[in-house]
Amino acid sequence: MVAVLFGLVSGDLPAQKKKPGDDEGYVPVVAPDKKKKRDEDTQTLPPSKDLPIAVVADTDRLAFQVSPLSSKGLFTPQTREALKGLLRSSRGTIVKLRVFVAGSGNMRRVGELVGETFADKRAALPALSVVQVGALPLEGAQVVIETIEMEKRSVNPNGIAFVSGQAAQNAEKSIEQLKSALRGGGMEPEDALRVTCFVSSLEEQKNTQELMKGNFPTAALNYVQMQREPVMPAAECEAVARARAAAPEPISFLNPPALDKSPHYSQIALVTSPKLVITGTQLAFGSQESDVKLAFERLGKALSGSNARFVHVVMSHLYLTSGALTAKVRSVRAGYYTGANPPASTMLPFEGLPSLDASFAMDVVAVPDPVTARR
């Protein structure tokens, strides 16, 4: 493919291009602003004390939605209407929201709006990830929301697959790599449940929506421009898909031969474990190694609260605001993702995060202990 579940060469070094399929495509190196003041207003923790930092969901019941874009009204009414629409169309319980905000809307309001809207509908509160993007593919649209939800019946009897973002020179090539990844995991494009494409420029990738609809006809589809100014990679698409055959193990990591193999992430994570732990974003503040470690420690606590560990993370999203942290975060991350295989992952540059002082954010999907548990 997540969010979300969501990101991270110290020093003023020139950015370098990555190979197609690398989850950590070329990002501009921008040194953190040391003059920026940190006050209580910008040091925002999770959006609302009432929203869970992690939720547990049934793998076989997972389903996905993407809110339709709207240009009516400003940020707050657009967000409210998107949330209400998703709740109306949901066929079960929404457990996770990944909100992409464009323009000048107050991202810190999202948690409050989620809490209010879900409380009004007497719905269980979901985990939340909020990321600012450069633009959405509709003039005047300020928000698009992805959901992970649990249907009332089993819809994924053989489990699901998370596919890492496929970096490429354009959306068409990224989608072809994504299809190759799915087939390498024993699936077909029509098995995709959700596909998200991140592009450097909506203007240069005008055919993205058409390509997504033509190749993934049954999936929930979303695409956004990562930053206001062009960045690299030009496009990177990720997916969650329904497995056609149950893997023999609760977690299986695959690297199809047609795609690049990276020491930092796996191309596919196949999951048959009955339960998944899905987190909201954990924000990181500061650019020192200790700051990065602190963010991972907080994420670890969120996982442990739901009986999960880093070693069983299957999908990782990392949302960058500065390329200057890439190598440092990658190095620290390796000390936490200590399993035999790294998780599937997407790590890209984005316009911003709910706190002005946040250096990056991350969210993950993990399998709870014990991984051999069955219903």
CATH label of the domain that carries residue 221: 3.30.1330.40
pLDDT: is 35 or 280 the higher one? 280
Is the residue at 24 inside a domain? no
Structure confidence at residue 39 (pLDDT): 38
Domain count, the chain: 1
In sequence order, which residues have a C-beta less than 8 Å from that of residue 62 and are 6 or more positions away?
148, 149, 150, 151, 155, 156, 160, 193, 240, 276
User: pLDDT averaged over the chain?
Assistant: 87
pLDDT at position 190 over 90: yes
Can you tell me the distance from the alpha carbon of 225 to that of 131, in angstroms, rounded to the nearest whole number?
12
Is the residue at 72 inside a domain? no
In sequence order, which residues have a C-beta less than 8 Å from that of residue 309 and are 6 or more positions away?
300, 303, 366, 369
In sequence order, which residues have a C-beta less than 8 Å from that of residue 92 and are 6 or more positions away?
61, 63, 149, 150, 151, 152
Structure confidence at residue 339 (pLDDT): 77
Is the residue at 219 inside a domain? yes
pLDDT category at 32 given cuts 50, 70, 90 is: very low
pLDDT tens readout for residues 97-124: 999 999 888 999 999 999 999 999 999 9
Structure confidence at residue 372 (pLDDT): 41
Can you tell me the distance from the alpha carbon of 248 to that of 315, in angstroms, rounded to the nearest whole number?
19
- Residue 44: CB atoms within 10 A of its CB come to 18
Q: Quickly tell me which residue has 């069983």 as its tokens.
A: 312
Structure confidence at residue 269 (pLDDT): 98
User: Could you tell me which of 330, 316, 310, 313 has the C-alpha nearest to residue 281?
Assistant: 316
pLDDT at position 212 over 70: yes
Enclosing domain of residue 338: 54-61+152-366
pLDDT at position 37 over 80: no
Q: Where are the beta strands (DSSP E) in the chain?
A: 54-58, 62-66, 92-101, 127-132, 143-151, 160-168, 192-199, 220-225, 235-242, 251-254, 268-271, 275-279, 282-285, 313-320, 344-349, 358-366
Is the residue at 83 inside a domain? no
Is the residue at 233 inside a domain? yes
Is the residue at 359 inside a domain? yes
Query: Which region among 113-122, 183-192, 325-334 has the lowest average model confidence (pLDDT)?
Result: 325-334
Structure confidence at residue 62 (pLDDT): 98
pLDDT at position 328 over 80: yes
pLDDT: is 287 or 23 the higher one? 287
pLDDT tens readout for residues 136-177: 999 999 999 999 999 999 999 999 999 999 999 999 999 999
DSSP summary character for residue 24: B
Please give the average per-residue pLDDT across 53-58, as a whole number.
Answer: 97
pLDDT: is 38 or 247 the higher one? 247
Is the residue at 17 inside a domain? no
In sequence order, which residues have a C-beta less than 8 Å from that of residue 354 and are 6 or more positions away?
44, 47, 107, 108, 110, 130, 283
Q: What percent of the chain has pLDDT over 90?
A: 77
CB 233 within 8 A of CB 25: yes
Is the residue at 39 inside a domain? no
Please give the average per-residue pLDDT across 265-291, as a whole number.
Answer: 95
